[in-house]
Structure 1
């Protein structure tokens, strides 16, 4: 699954976007966990109200979960991916909403967490969230046996015969042409 996340504000706009059934054939709010409100807009307004006691302007974290086009993914697999993402980002105990969209037979999901810890009234910091989501996405592709997209392949699909800047500079310092050394990923000092 491709996982794309972002820190957000704009609670009402986000709720309207996620509930927009004009662009999707089917929209289903499957879960509202940890909110007092029982509707999506109310839940996001609640998160916004709590954020007012903090200096955090981007009080929501929105994550889209997009499986490959040909994949049939169960609701349970989406939930597990959402749980895993929440765990890796430190949002596992935060209020969240889970929304499913279906368009032209293709199903994907959105998860939105409140970033504000209601007890401490502090925003949960999300360092390296893109890296963590990328690593989880790769694990999900491998777990389900889907073909990895080029961007998730080792080294981002780069040519394995390319040298890093450090390898190139080390070879030049030693008076060696790095293109004549094989394999390029091994430390150059060990090959000479």
Structure 2
């Protein structure tokens, strides 16, 4: 075993280059920061690849999504139309039967010039003419005898010498103005 002994005084001895503790800490910290930065760049590159892949997938499904949205809108429109048709069927008037009944109730010496429905009030206004007051009375009586209206009343009669014009009001069953007016038919006829 050999032992090396240096007999030179310390000031003449060759110095070893030792790094101070601070420099070592700074180098380690710098290395860690550099390593973290490289890891961050790697994660960013992976994220960019994922985003590009997801955008590609989105581009594949976008036309289908637009078509589905358009179909959904069209389906909503059709459902709305279906609800409206169901409401019309439930609340709608059977105009064919109604016009046939009005025609059958109309005497030979009377005629109609107008027919107007007020859906909000549930009323039908009939205007027409006759050659006699009896023809108007017969028409009113015939309409009152049908089951299409809860109330039929004479609103107005005017004469111009040879013919008379009249206005009748018929209230549909269940209309907002229907309740308690059954007795006014006779009063309306008697009052004219």
Fold shared by both chains (TM-score > 0.5)? no
More strand per residue: 1 or 2? 1
> How does the TM-score come out when normalised to structure 2?
0.28
Where relative contact order (Cα < 8 A, 6+ residues apart) is larger, the structure is 1
More helix per residue: 1 or 2? 2
